[in-house]
Structures are given as structure tokens and as C-alpha cells.
Amino acid sequence: DQQVKQNSPSLSVQEGRISILNCDYTNSMFDYFLWYKKYPAEGPTFLISISSIKDKNEDGRFTVFLNKSAKHLSLHIVPSQPGDSAVYFCAASAGGTYKYIFGTGTRLKVLA
């Protein structure tokens, strides 16, 4: 049972436009969420996180939105740059535990 889902395996966006990556979850106990970026043949790198007590967290070009009632979060990248082309994973954990459940990833391609 996939508790964290990224239903779009790939996304293409023009440089300078907004990229929106979506993530849905099923476990209502999840209360902390993260986004990671991964280049081929490298380990993922942490981008941004959000706690369930918030509905938005912003860091530079990256903003994460959390809709708890819909069990949905999204990552917005504005403006998108070619260097943002990578696979993006969302991850979730429950109750301060150290176990994260990762989604299957979305491959973002930013076109110059």
C-alpha cells in the first residue's frame, strides 16, 4: 500500500515559469513532510519541509503548500531554471518518528 503518492511521473516546464509538483498521502497520522531533489546517480538532497501546524513554508524560489483536509501537498518552484531539472521526491513521517515514507518521484524537466 503506497501511503505517499506522486501521481505524475514526469513534468515539463518552460524556463522562467512555475513548476508545480504534487504529492498525496493516505495516512492521517503524517505530520511532517519533506521534499527532496535527486540528480541521476547521486543521493537525494533536502529541499524544504513543512510541519502539519503550517499550511505554507517558503524558502527562496521554493514554496511548499499543505492541505491537510485533502491530504495533499505541493511544491512550487518559481521561476523554474534548467538546473532544477531532476527527480523530486516527497516524504512523510508521523508523530516525530524517524521513519519517512517516500513517494515514487516526479521527473521535472525545465526547458530553456
Whichever of 14 and 39 has its CB closer to another protein, that residue is: 39
Residue that has been written with the C-alpha cell 521527473 in this structure:
107
Three-state SS at 26: coil
DSSP codes, 41-53: TS--EEEEEEETT
69 phi and psi angles, rounded to 5 deg? -65, -35
Least separation in angstroms between residue 42's CB and another protein is 6
64, 71, 80, 103: which one contacts another protein (CB under 8 A)? Answer: 103
Asked whether position 10 contacts another protein by CB under 8 A, the answer is no
Q: Which three cell numbers stand for residue 105?
A: 518521484
Asked whether position 30 contacts another protein by CB under 8 A, the answer is no
84 phi and psi angles, rounded to 5 deg? -80, -10
Q: For residues 38-67, which are near another protein according to CB under 8 A? A: 41-46, 49, 51
Whichever of 42 and 69 has its CB closer to another protein, that residue is: 42
**Site of interaction with another protein (CB under 8 A):** 6, 32, 34, 36, 41-46, 49, 51, 89, 91, 93, 96, 98-105
